[in-house]
A = this chain, B = another copy of it.
């Protein structure tokens, strides 16, 4: 059975016999059929797996003939609603699920079909555990990101007069030339001194000096990587000491993680260690990485998940002091042979 067919089979089992799943999230569609249709809709029923595409995408997808994986149809206004109504009428499906669409779209869909529609994260949850192919893509994205981090360090250490914005531009350009398809939606996060105290700092025109935080990722074959480093060679001893604490803590955390561990266990541990140092963990300790830079699982105290073989995620403890500094250390990790390893 092909990898795609196997993924679809697993999702079918999850949603249950006689139920249907509507998929609007482009990443979920790509995960299940390898086609990125703009404004496409997938409909998975016990009998059929259909992708409704706009005419332009249909022409091009049909040409590639992936029809053995998914049945392609041209999207027409009302086609999803009509197909569902027909299936319900014939008694082929009972419950209808949908991935997380906007509230207005959900209400329109319920009005059009006259049915209650349940929201399901079944595909997002399936995406948490990666296949070998997915891991290979993420590894390539990690390799490129590491080269970006190395260049960032080189330029930082050279003490060249360069702004946060221009250094970020250099790194994005360099990673693209290394084969990256892109980086985060908001671009690389790069900030020095007090600018880094903002968790989501955007590169400014400030000339690099003091400590510098860089948070970047690459994209390879649609899969992301995500890394952060804080360089402190040009910073005060106090900041250096804090950075050392965070870097060590990250490694201790990764070392503690094992397949079967409940996620809040590690998140609480990290929070306590940071509090011992009179700081607070403002953000989640990490997140899944794959077709999205941020995907499931969310690594925080509220998570219901546990670390599982083939799960890919970041670990990124950080501390921030308003108007002073921000320090974060982050790696993309994989659970393999029961333990977490850095990719």
Contact = CB atoms under 8 A, between A and B. Distances in A.
A119 B107 contact: yes
Contact of A177 (B36, B54, B166, B199): B166
Interface in A77-98: 98
Nearest to A55: B282
Number of copies: 2
A13 interface: no
Interface of A: 36, 38, 54-57, 59-60, 63, 98, 100-107, 119, 165-166, 168-169, 172-173, 176-177, 181-182, 185-187, 197-200, 202, 280, 282-283, 320, 322-323
Contact of A172 (B36, B105, B172): B172
Nearest to A107: B119
A196 to B, nearest CB: 11
A199 B38 contact: yes
A60 B187 contact: no
A26 to B, nearest CB: 10
A136 B313 CA distance: 42
Contacts of A56: 197-199, 282-283, 320, 322
A182 B199 CA distance: 19
Nearest to A176: B169
Given A56-B282, A181-B187, 19 more contacts: A54-B282, A56-B198, A56-B320, A60-B198, A60-B322, A63-B323, A100-B102, A101-B102, A103-B103, A104-B119, A106-B106, A165-B176, A166-B177, A172-B172, A173-B173, A173-B176, A182-B186, A182-B187, A185-B185
Contact of A280 (B55, B168, B320, B322): B55
Contacts of A98: 103
Contact of A173 (B101, B172, B200, B282): B172
A96 to B, nearest CB: 13
A119 B283 CA distance: 29
A197 B186 CA distance: 28
Contacts of A54: 282
A168 B187 CA distance: 15
7 nearest A-B residue pairs (beta carbon): A103-B106, A169-B176, A173-B173, A59-B322, A56-B282, A185-B185, A104-B119
17 contacts: A36-B200, A55-B280, A56-B197, A56-B199, A56-B282, A56-B320, A57-B198, A60-B322, A101-B102, A101-B103, A103-B105, A104-B119, A106-B106, A169-B176, A169-B177, A173-B173, A182-B187
Contacts of A104: 100, 119
Nearest to A322: B59
Nearest to A170: B173
Contacts of A199: 38, 56-57
Contacts of A36: 200
A100 B100 CA distance: 13
